[in-house]
Amino acid sequence: MRLDAQAPGAIEAAAQRLAAGELVAFPTETVYGLGARADVDEAAARIFAAKGRPTGHPLIVHVADVAGAAAFAGHWPPLAQRLAERFWPGPLTVIVPRAEGIAATAAGGQPTVGLRCPAHPVAQALLRAAAEQGVRGVAAPSANRFGRVSPTTAEHVLAEFGDDMTVLDGGACGVGIESAIVDCSRGMPVLLRPGMLTAAEIEAAAGQRLHAPDAAAPRASGTLASHYAPQAKVRLMPAAALRDALQVFGQAAKAGNTRTPGGKTLAVYSRTVPAGTAAVLHRRMPDDAARAAQQLFATLRELDAAGVSLIWVEQPPPGPEWDGVRDRLQRAAAE
């Protein structure tokens, strides 16, 4: 069921569903989240069941502000405070020690919890309306089946779960890929997942250099090797290799073979490789990292809907502003 976020009473109705322990999909500036109250384990468990998500793969808890994080944080590190002051509301998740006796299911059983304050006005309004009904925070991973392409519109969510799912429609998401995740639970900032905030921006706010994850790092949402994957097989390749592969395919197409040598229909998503190869569905990747991120998941979903079997994607440029897009594509292409 779709609820227009601008319609009178829609946000209050969605908040009532959350308070009752039901699932509600809602927009954030990154992607649409599949929400349930994080302070009731039975409600959070419904997210795992709906997505087919392993129960040990933790969720991110959304709160309206830093004060709202206090219910879930056993300790609020100064590092988390510096990052929140700079980036909240916004596309950054901080991992902090979890308060005992709350959100154990949402946290995947870990002693830490991921917290984020979203910037989307609909998400903010929903979190505040839910708080008025006693909901201390909303766990909300991306509103899709586990491991698949994240949704950036209400239509994507309904296509994934059907009309029985309550979806608060706030339009298309502006950022388009999930938040950066920084572990703040061990006294040093560890980047567990890149987003659209660059490492340099995070380090400037933290006052410390970022570290890479190690074996002691907590588990975090969206960090499995294979994730964000469409039904089609994704192959990520340099521009020169993509041009060579398309040349071979173009010669085969001219000879009357409109499929790849493996018998698969093909789509291409690229910046520098021009359209025009016979029998190839081509979509252009924007030259700007922010626009590429905003369009990425919608494009992968569009190509899936077109029924292609293979998606050949040109590797993004090497700059740090592309780290989030590169991360999602690498995981989408992983075996």
- The model's pLDDT over 32-71, given as tens digits with 9 standing for 90+, comes to 999 999 999 999 999 999 999 999 999 999 999 999 999 9
* Higher pLDDT among residues 252 and 327, named by residue: 327
Average pLDDT over residues 168-184: 98
Per-residue confidence at 30, pLDDT binned at 50, 70, 90? Answer: very high
Tell me whether strands 310-314 and 266-270 are parallel, antiparallel or unpaired.
Answer: parallel
**DSSP states of 214-266 as a string?**
-TTSPP-TT-SSS-SB-SSEEEEE-HHHHHHHHHHHHHHHHTT--S-TTS--E
The tokens of 111 are what? 């002693």
The tokens of 36 are what? 């349930």
Q: What is the DSSP letter of 50?
A: H
Cβ proximity of 179 and 123 under 8 Å: no
Q: Where in the chain is the domain with CATH 3.40.50.11030?
A: 233-333
The tokens of 286 are what? 């924007």
**DSSP states of 148-205 as a string?**
BPPP-SHHHHHHHH-TTS-EEE--S-SS-SPPEEEE-TTSS-EEEE--SS-HHHHHHH
Report the sign of the C-alpha dihedral through residues 116, 4, 169, 6, in that order. Answer: negative
Strand partners, 62: 116, 138
Average pLDDT over residues 146-158: 97
pTM of the model: 0.95
Q: Where in the chain is the domain with CATH 3.90.870.10?
A: 2-206
pLDDT value of residue 254 = 46
How many Å apart are CA 298 and CA 218, to the nearest integer?
Answer: 30
How many Å apart are CA 76 and CA 82, to the nearest integer?
Answer: 11
How many Å apart are CA 109 and CA 136, to the nearest integer?
Answer: 19
Q: Count other Cβ atoms within 10 Å, centred on residue 164.
A: 8
- The model's pLDDT over 65-82, given as tens digits with 9 standing for 90+, comes to 999 999 999 999 999 999
Pick from 92, 89, 150: nearest CA to 123: 89
**How high is the mean pLDDT of the chain?**
94
Q: Is the pLDDT of residue 259 over 70?
A: no
pLDDT value of residue 257 = 47
Per-residue confidence at 248, pLDDT binned at 50, 70, 90? Answer: confident
- The model's pLDDT over 111-123, given as tens digits with 9 standing for 90+, comes to 999 999 999 999 9
**Considering the chain, what percentage of its residues have pLDDT values greater than 70?**
95
Q: Is the pLDDT of residue 260 over 70?
A: no
Give burial (CB, 10 Å; 0-12/13-18/19+) of 307: exposed
* Higher pLDDT among residues 78 and 278, named by residue: 78
Pick from 324, 289, 312: nearest CA to 242: 312
Average pLDDT over residues 93-110: 98
For 233-333, which CATH superfamily applies? Threonylcarbamoyl-AMP synthase, C-terminal domain (3.40.50.11030)
Q: Is the pLDDT of residue 277 over 90?
A: no
How many Å apart are CA 173 and CA 285, to the nearest integer?
Answer: 18
pLDDT value of residue 256 = 44
pLDDT value of residue 252 = 52
pLDDT value of residue 255 = 41
Domain 2-206 has CATH 3.40.50.970: no
Q: What is the DSSP letter of 102?
A: S
pLDDT value of residue 56 = 96
